[in-house]
């Protein structure tokens, strides 16, 4: 199998507008997955739950690492590459690290890094949306406002003391006694 097989397959799929949408609920991207299995010489298409065997994952990842950034239809190419990476990502740390190693320094590796950054951002957003985190954020905002208020009160005490010293008053009660005289 040549190293160009995956690039040729992707070009054919993009030209024919084969669905490569991750988690497509209309077609399940069956045509794309079955075509990929045929390109690998498999007689049966692995389901989206069982996936490809380790050797097949490494073969696809190795070929994926050789794909250059496309000049025509870059969004369609990126969607297809994202879908392939999603298929290859097994959840097994050892195999996933090997896939990532095979993609390092390639255009597909850049796509993988963007996918990982997007995933991290989504996880953070989900974490921040939790009720516990919302309570913590509200408590922190309240604490910050209280600190600002305490600083303002301390500044006011200083300003008042400065004003009293300039006007010959020594204590706040002296001011009250002075104003209460008939």
Separation between Cα atoms, residue 3 and residue 9, nearest integer Å: 11
The model's pLDDT over 120-155, given as tens digits with 9 standing for 90+, comes to: 999 888 887 888 888 888 899 999 999 999 999 999
The model's pLDDT over 60-81, given as tens digits with 9 standing for 90+, comes to: 899 999 888 887 788 999 999 9
Task: Tell me the two tokens of residue 163.
Answer: 């004003």
Q: Which of 59, 69, 71, 75 is nearest to 6 (CA)?
A: 59
Task: Tell me the two tokens of residue 15.
Answer: 């030209």
By mean pLDDT, which of 22-31, 62-71, 168-177 is the weakest? 168-177
- Percent of the chain having pLDDT more than 90? 40
- Percent of the chain having pLDDT more than 70? 90
Which pLDDT band, with edges at 50, 70 and 90, does 29 fall under?
Answer: confident
């Amino acid at each position: 199998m040549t190293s160009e097989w995956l690039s040729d397959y992707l070009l054919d799929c993009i030209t024919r507008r084969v669905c490569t949408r991750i988690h497509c609920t209309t077609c399940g991207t069956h045509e794309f997955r079955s075509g990929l299995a045929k390109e690998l010489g498999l007689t049966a298409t692995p389901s989206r739950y069982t996936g490809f065997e380790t050797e097949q994952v490494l073969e696809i990842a190795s070929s994926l690492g050789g794909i250059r950034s496309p000049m025509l239809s870059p969004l369609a190419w990126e969607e297809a590459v994202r879908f392939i990476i999603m298929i290859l990502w097994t959840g097994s740390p050892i195999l996933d690290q090997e896939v990532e190693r095979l993609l390092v320094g390639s255009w597909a590796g850049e796509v993988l890094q963007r996918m990982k950054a997007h995933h991290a951002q989504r996880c953070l957003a989900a974490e921040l949306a939790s009720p516990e985190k919302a309570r913590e954020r509200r408590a922190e905002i309240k604490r910050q406002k209280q600190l600002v208020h305490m600083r303002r009160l301390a500044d006011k005490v200083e300003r008042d003391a400065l004003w009293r010293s300039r006007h010959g008053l020594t204590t706040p009660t002296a001011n009250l006694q002075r104003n209460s005289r008939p």
